[in-house]
Amino acid sequence: MKQKTSAGRLYGRLLTYVWPHKLAFATAVLGFGIYASAAPMLAHMMGLVEQTLSNPTREQIIMVVATLVGVFLYRGIGTFLGKFFVAVVGRNVVHSLRTELFNKMTRLPSGFYDSESSGRLISRVIFDVDQVTGASTKAVTAVIQEGLTVVGLMVYLLWLDYTLTAIFLVLTPVIGGVVGLASRYFRRYSRRIQKAMGNVTQITNESINGYREVRTFGGTEYEQKRFEKASDYNRRQSLKFGLTSAINVPLTQQIVALGLAVMVYLMFQRVMAGSMTSAEFLQFMTAASLIAKPLRALTDINSVIQKGLTAAESIFSVLDAGTEPDSGTEVMTRARGQVTFEQVRFRYDGADKEALKGISLDVSPGTSVAFVGKSGSGKTTLVNLIPRFYEVTEGRILLDGEDIRNLTLDSLRAQIAIVSQQVTLFNGSIRSNIAYGALASCSDEEVLAAARAAHADEFIQRLPQGYDTQVGEDGVLLSGGQRQRIAIARALLKNAPVLILDEATSALDTESERHIQEAMEEVMKGRTTFVIAHRLSTIENADRIVVIDQGEVREDGTHADLIAHQGVYAQLHQIQFSE
């Protein structure tokens, strides 16, 4: 989406979310129409009041009182219908937007997350959508209710005296110019406030998640200053927004007051000349005075509308972003596990050089391949191409002879299980974390078997609630080794033909690692397994070891072959074991 989009187009797009709730919206408009039509009635009543004052009779007084009660009851019904049903529409619009935004985020490509901060993404779901709430409920309420009131009163004034009403009509372009100028500033400051809120959310999220590192490395004061700077920027932009609003409203009111002053002067002249009665004077004066309040409300709500439109622009930029490319049409039931890399090249967006430079490998089904190399050599990038988290720049990857780009993403990823170095656990029970997502239908016996194979059952049984124990946010209540074993149990439960272990034993102590290695050797039988490991002792028994350096394959063979070759692997092995 472009940096700037017209307010009309943005609001028009927001209205497409209103259409499914058109009946509730029509009821709200009817209610606001009832409310608006009550204003001219109240103004017209002033003529009746003046006549009653001139000749007060019991019948006339009862009529005035009854009319007054009736008009307010009539207006009250309109207020209820309008406000309640526009709230129904507004909350449904916000729910639809928030759900669609979240669903879209779950389908965005990995490259999108590489370029966006998590704080800004969270801010979109929470802060931006909340701003749209203002534009879709409070603003819509004010625009329809107060707008119809202004229209109703203007029609009544034209009916009373079109020459005097023309004074108000002359002021309309002036008021429109003031509102338009303010709108530009509102949009500008709203964008800055959104950016600042993203930074505030990001810093807060980082500081909370990394509170141990913050305190250990003396970063408390640094984080406090960083947060204060972000919050202060947000404060300053909000004050500029408030200043614009504070100038905009009284300036508009002053313009309206000048128009009223001219009208009052002319009306007194007509009363003196005998061309206007006192009843007509009160009716016109009351109607003209009643216009001031809805006009002020319409001007005041402009700031809320601009905030909402800026937020909508931000939300739509995500909704319009491209999803993961899934052009595949073939569905694979269960792969044998033969994986072939043919001259695979890959370059990250915006990178100066390629991360992978023409890698060719043929991995037989059921074999284990360990990728070894320095950090940044391309090991993780290579395995991330298998489930198509990224698309190859050149070359192709085959699964059982089929180009993985021809397979649907769901079908492809059903063949793969992953255990990464950064374990992700969700705020729920241990059972729900092992049987996660598509695995939720697995039986308790299957979950238990997977946990035993991952050597996780032994510590789970010692927990107070066993498999129903809540792990806390991101598994904070568990040790690193325990979290890793739960992730391994999850991969085992999936029972996929292709297994990716990215530093899967990195968080385990020596005792746990020994148990896991024994389990892994059993689990890897019959599965094509890709292992990334810095500790070479964990991959000595792999069927094949591939040394990758600067995106290229340097060596390929068994542990014994590479030690005998006395190349890069032998040097790395010697360095680690001498340490």
Looking at the DSSP bridge assignments, the partners of residue 498 are 416, 528
- The Cα 472–Cα 108 span in angstroms is 27
- The Cα 260–Cα 172 span in angstroms is 13
Confidence (pLDDT) at 518: 66
Q: What is the mean pLDDT of each run of 10 residues along the chain (579 residues)?
A: 61 82 88 82 71 74 81 86 84 84 84 75 78 71 76 77 69 62 64 70 68 63 79 78 68 68 73 72 72 70 74 84 84 91 90 89 92 86 91 92 91 88 80 88 90 86 88 73 84 89 65 64 78 79 88 89 86 74
| Nearest one of 559, 517, 510, 515 to 538, comparing CA atoms | 517
3 state DSSP class of 132 = helix
Asked if 570 and 562 touch (Cβ cutoff 8 Å), the reply is yes
Q: Which class does domain 416-495 fall in?
A: alpha beta
Calculate Rg over the CA atoms of the chain.
Answer: 35
- Give the pairing type, strands 394-399 and 368-372: unpaired
Asked if 298 and 146 touch (Cβ cutoff 8 Å), the reply is yes
For residue 226, give the H/E element and its range: helix 220-273
Tokens 């192709």: give the residue.
396
3 state DSSP class of 424 = coil
- Give the Cβ contact number of residue 334 at 10 Å: 11
- Give the Cβ contact number of residue 450 at 10 Å: 25
- Give the pairing type, strands 498-502 and 528-532: parallel
In CATH, the number for domain 7-319 is: 1.20.1560.10
CA of 240: how far to CAs of 243, 246, 486, in Å? 5, 10, 51
Confidence (pLDDT) at 385: 93
- Give the Cβ contact number of residue 293 at 10 Å: 15
Confidence (pLDDT) at 365: 92
Prediction pTM value: 0.69
Q: Where are the domains of the chain?
A: 7-319, 416-495
SS3 string of 272-299? HHCCCCHHHHHHHHHHHHHHHHHHHHHH
| Nearest one of 206, 253, 242 to 227, comparing CA atoms | 206
| Concatenated DSSP letters of 471-512 | --GGGTTS-HHHHHHHHHHHHHHHT-SEEEEESTTTT--HHH
Domain pair 7-319 / 416-495, same fold:
no
| Nearest one of 198, 230, 190 to 121, comparing CA atoms | 198
Asked if 365 and 338 touch (Cβ cutoff 8 Å), the reply is yes
3 state DSSP class of 116 = coil
- Give the Cβ contact number of residue 129 at 10 Å: 24
- Give the Cβ contact number of residue 362 at 10 Å: 10
Confidence (pLDDT) at 350: 79
Confidence (pLDDT) at 3: 47
